[in-house]
Structure 1
Amino acid sequence: MGLNGADAIHMATVLEDCVDQLSVLGKIMPTSYEGRPDALEMVCTELNRLVEGQKELENRYQSVLSQKLEMLQSTKNIAKLTDMEKEVLEAGGDLKNSTHVFTRSLRQNPLASDNMAKIQDDRLFLESVMAGTLSELIENCTYQVLAETVRGEKERKAQLQDTILKEENGRKRVKQLQKQLQDIKKEKEKEIQDRNEMIAHFKDELQEMRAKTNMEGKYIKKSAEVAVAQTQKRCTLSEKQLKEEIESLRRQIDEEMRVNNEVVSYLETHKTELMKKVDYWMDKYEKDIEAKQHELDVLKASKAKDLERLQELSKLYKEYEQVVVEDRIEKEKARRKAELEAIELKASIRLQSWWRGVMVRKGFGPYSKKKKGKKGKKGKGKKKKK
């Protein structure tokens, strides 16, 4: 990283001026502003300056943003839109940096001695870096010291940021673990309390169970004794009842044997009588069969005769029926002929009556009227003859 002679001289002049100003600033800067009468005024002035700068950046960002919106509505030139986008991003970045500086300034107290000591340390560091860079520019026309210092500061700052992040994460983790520990402690205490209560409850139940078991043992023992006595008594009564039942069954068996013998003798006697009746009824059956067979033969012969007589009568009936039918047909023909003649006579009479009426109305035949002229002449002639 080298510079030509003119640039190196210019840079060296600027750095020398900066080193002198920093040296003078270190000599005139007090160790602390606390206790000074104009300290509050200095703080207010600085805050007003920061607020004014913040307002200017906000107004600038608003104006650039409104110009961008107007341009989006009015034009479609990509180059202008790109430039406007860059201006918006630049204004936004400046506003973000200013906001960061403003918030950091509000968090810090400029009147504290620690801040002044830090400012002195930063000034001394910057003065030494600029002095080393000035010497390097004068000797070699390079600024390697400045570049290495900036790189080292960036690395140190990055390490410091990592350390801060790790510390914050560690604190958060410690807080979480402490909270978890408190929760676990409360949970365990509650669990121990519940278990103690459960143990006390179980002890009470154990005492109750022991007392209950003793009482139940005594009760069961007495119940068993009573049950044994009752069972023995029931067995005695059952044995007595069974003996009585055995005697009763023996008497019943003897009675049944006697009844059975009597029934057998009665059945044998009744069997003999029934055999006689069977023989009687068999003979009677055969005789009745013969009689009924004779009656059947007689009825069959009578049936044959009746059938022959029926056939003869049927033949005669058919002949008579044919004669009756023929007679009815002749009578029907005569009746129809008489009716036809009566109808014809009636029709002819009506026709003659109609014709006479027509002749009378029309004056046909003997019913015709004479003319008037002829009658007058005849009258005159008659008068003359008189």
Structure 2
Amino acid sequence: MPPLRLVSEVKGDWGTGSAYEVEASEQKMVTSLPTRASGRVPLVVHTSLEKLDEQEVLKDETLISLPFLHSALFATVLEDAIIEMRILVECNNELRVIKTMTDMGVHLALKYGVSQPDVKDELDEIDANKLDCNEYKLNKLDNDRIWPMVALTNTYIRLVRDKTFEALEESVSKIENLDKYRGELFEADSKNRLMRRDLNKQLRQQRNHIKSVIYDTNTKIDELRSKVEDASFNTEIRSRYVDNWQLARTEQHIRKIHDTEATPTNTIEYYKQRAYCEQRVHTEVELLFNIIINETLDKIEHWMNKYDKDMEELDLKIQIKKNDYQNMLDKRINFEETIEKHDIAMKEWVYFKEEREKARLFVKKMTNSAITIQAWWRGLLVRKQLGPYKISKKKGEDKKKKK
């Protein structure tokens, strides 16, 4: 083991923490973080400065480093948090088993040496029709648990190695950029929804326009058909009149027969025309009713689409409100837990101050008592002329007293 040199030592109610440094010839630093009163083994971090390349060294020179004592204290706090989080994760056996069963395909591929892609996109394995399945929720929960562990571990390493919070700043900036990116995606989605709504509106207008044009065209076609039928009917009447006129001039009996049959023929023609007119009226009425029915169906379709859109918007708003309520509930629970922790810390600090004040008063009282006793004793020695205050007798006086 290389020779170590004591750099600093910190004492408190939580225990004692010592920081050591390797001699310059070894180019290594060993940091022993503070140990709890419970007797937990301290965590020792070995960092080799030889592994840093020139870019990292130049980058670290521009950073603002913390004092060694502050960085060690911050690292101690992060160490406790990392260990507690690791214990919580390791204790959740059920979640680990479910996660292992979910990732069984990946584990088998790694076991049998199946090549994995170098760059893996998260969206490749996501099915839009199964967004509410437990597998995606489990992956999201696992990623949310891994991220704070990685962030705290990187921050802990950078605190011990460089005495900076650069890793924590990078993690926070990543989260902020992710939130910003999600906000941009939400705005783009809103714009796309508006654009799709406008396009659907234009499509419906085009359909209505096409239907109106088709209706006008069919009306013109019917008018042309009626004109053609009238022309053919008039042609037949004229040809019949000419033939009958010629027959009347050539044959009188045919004229008489024609005169005899003219009244029934006209009656038949009259009723025939009447039946034809009734048929045309019936056709027009039927066409009108068909148009009314089609318009009613279009209106029903329009209102059904509007109802579906309104229900989708209401469902979206309800989901947003639910998410907001869940976020507020999570924030409130976090605030309550933070307040409880602060309350416990304040009570411990008040108890520590009371005990410290009691110890100080006891030391002060004992010091005053010792001073009082010492002053009394010295005054007694002076009054009684004892000890160092005893009066020494001269030699001549002793001889006189003997005689």
Q: Structures share a fold, TM > 0.5?
A: no
Looking at secondary structure, tell me which structure has more helix per residue: 1
- Higher Cα radius of gyration: 1
Report the TM-score, using the length of structure 2 for normalisation: 0.31
Question: When the two structures are superposed, what TM-score results if normalisation uses the length of structure 1?
Answer: 0.32
Larger relative contact order (C-alpha < 8 A, sep ≥ 6)?
1
